[in-house]
Structure formats: structure tokens, C-alpha cells
Amino acid sequence: MTSNHQPEKSQTKRARKQAPRSLRNPQRSRKPVAHVRTRDQEIHQIPSSQDAPETAQTAETLERARSLNLANADEVRALLRRHGLLRANKALGQHLLVSRTALRSVVDAAELTPDDAALEVGAGHGALTVELARRARWVVAVELDRAILPVLRETTAPYPNVEIVERNLLDVEPEDLFGSEPYKLVANLPYYITAATLRHFLEARNPPRLLVVMVQREVAERMVASAGEMSLLSLSVQFYGAPRIVARVPASAFYPPPKVDSAIVRIDLHPASLSLEERDWFFTLARAGFAEKRKQVHNSLARHLDVDPARIQDWLNAANIESTRRAQTLSLEDWLRLTAVSAPDVRRTD
């Protein structure tokens, strides 16, 4: 499980250059084997003890993996060095979670059952992956960094219900992995693309039933903000579900420790209340409103929607929103009302 602390734009651009654009729908086997899906879409089956007799070397490797304490910084450091890694990949902003307390908080918040499927993005050295595998029926672990993949393969080798996908998380389509099956997204999100990651999965054809994510503490507080302190991020998250902070995680819980603390956020999704067309208009309004958050919402909307200011005033009046308010003071309900009164007007004039 990794944490990332690099600037969003440059890192996102670099990640996209390193990964392909899409996934094929794999022919998955229900036999007790672990899969490693590479960039070339090959699937390498790692035999489990149920498939074939273990050789002495295989048994020793599996036993060593089972005995690893992935929440111990010294053991993780030794594990990385054994694979030729002196440290986590700073280019990708990796900080590996090495806190048993934090791991337990993440997994407990997900309320996994033996029937659940789980998706983890940014699997890193596999500390969270292993905990998920112990509770869920099937775990898909996504990791972009080729250097740490051998570590992840070793730590998850004893768990035949783990499938590793080498991919940029923004190129992962859940429908290609799970079809229409329900799943839970449980992950330590890359901080530099938190908003993009959330929207990518929440707007997927098959979104997760539940999200439990580790994010930068400041980002977590923005996600759960209420009217008066709203942002485009908090509005976007709350449009899809109800977020709450489960626990705060100190920087010392990671190796190497980052410069900021983190927090675990659980998002319980609620049914979609708008059509796809209405949803797109909702976010068009929101982006325009928050484009100049220090300005009055009427002026910001008029400036960025290319709509007659008089029409916007009519919308605000119909939605019972004072035109002098700022975007951060509007609640989710305010934006939904504004969408409801303006969408039909926009359709009539298109």
C-alpha cells in the first residue's frame, strides 16, 4: 500500500506515459491461482498449494512470505533491499504503510465478507493487499511501479485469491475486471490525483458499492466539508455518496514518513438521482461556480457559462439562492435545486 505526495499535473502526465490506454476483458479462471496481469495483458498463473505439490523451494518461499510482518518498517526495509530496492520509489511519491493499527482501521471500515470482491489501487509492497485477501473472496491489486512488482508478487504468493494488474489506475475500467459484479474500492489513493481517481471510479459504468480510501489529511477534511467551506472536491464526492473520516493516520505510520499526516475516509454511495445529461450539467454549473470562488456565485456563473446574466438571475431566484452568495456557502441541495431549475431551460435553448 503506497502513499503519494508529488504535484498532480506532472505526476499524472508521467503515469499516463508509462501505461497503456485500456484493458481487455480477461478470461479469468476460478481455479485457486493468483494472476499477474502485465502491460501486455499476459496472465501468468502462480500455482497454489491446491494446484500442484509444492517443491521444497516453493514451500520455503511461501512460508517466508507468510511470516513477513509487512507492518514493520525494519522488515519492509530488508524486503526491499532483498529485491534490489534501497527505498520506495520517490519518483512516484511512494510511502509504504507500516502501521498495523492503520491497516486494521482501513480493513475494518470496509466491512469485508468472504463473499466480497475488492479493488486496491497503488498496492505497493502488499501490506493492505494481504489483509484484504484474508477477508475477501477476491482481490484485484493494481500497481504501476515495475520495480516493486516482484515484492508484491512475493508477499501475495500465499494468497491465490489475489490478482495483480500492472496498470496506471486511471486506465483501469472496473467493468473489464468485475463485469457487473459488485465490489469495494479499498486503497491508499495517490494524493496527487485524488480527485481524478475518485471521479474516474465513481463515474465508471460499474462503480464500487463502497470506498475506503487513505488520503492526505487536508484532502480528507475538504471531502467532508459542509456548506460554508465547500469546494469542488467536497461537492463532487458528496454528489455520489456520504463521506466520513474514520481515522487519522500520522506520518510516522509510513516508510519513509511523508511530510504530512493522512486520514482514512469511508464513502457510502447513494443511488444516482440525476440522469447522465443532468449530471453533466450539474458539474458544468459547479465548475463555473467554483472557477472564481471569491466572487459572488451569480457573477462567476455568468462569466464562465456564456449565458445571459438575467437568465442566471432567474435560475437563482427559482432555486431560492441569493445571487450575492459565494460558491463555498452553497450546499449539495442548493446545487441540485439550481440544476433542476436550469437544466430544462438549457435544453429548450440548445
CATH class of the region 276-349: mainly alpha
Q: Is the pLDDT of residue 53 over 70?
A: no
Query: 34-38, 258-262, 336-340: lowest mean pLDDT where?
Result: 34-38
Alpha carbon separation from 211 to 129, 201, 242, 263, 290 (Å, rounded): 15, 10, 10, 13, 25
Q: Tell me, what's the pLDDT at 186?
A: 98
Helix (H) or strand (E) holding 37: strand 34-37
Per residue in 216-229, pLDDT tens? 999 999 999 999 99
- CA-based radius of gyration for the chain: 22
Please state whether the predicted TM-score (pTM) of the whole model is above 0.85. no
Per residue in 183-211, pLDDT tens? 999 998 877 788 899 999 999 999 999 99
What is the average pLDDT value for the chain, to the nearest integer?
Answer: 85
Domains 2-269 and 276-349 share a fold: no
Q: Give the separation between CA 243 and CA 221, rounded to whole angstroms.
A: 10
By the 10 Å C-beta count (0-12 exposed, 13-18 middle, 19+ buried), 3 is classed as buried
Ranges of each domain in the chain? 2-269, 276-349
CA dihedral sign of residues 163, 164, 170, 173: negative
Q: Is the pLDDT of residue 255 over 80?
A: yes
pLDDT band at 256; cut points 50, 70, 90: confident
CATH number belonging to the domain at 2-269, selected among 3.40.50.300, 1.10.600.10, 3.40.50.150, 1.10.10.60: 3.40.50.150
Q: Tell me, what's the pLDDT at 258?
A: 87
Closest by Cα among 2, 254, 246 to 111: 246
Q: Tell me, what's the pLDDT at 118?
A: 98
User: What is the average per-residue pLDDT within 253-277?
Assistant: 93
Q: CA-based angle 46:50:54, to the nearest 5?
A: 70
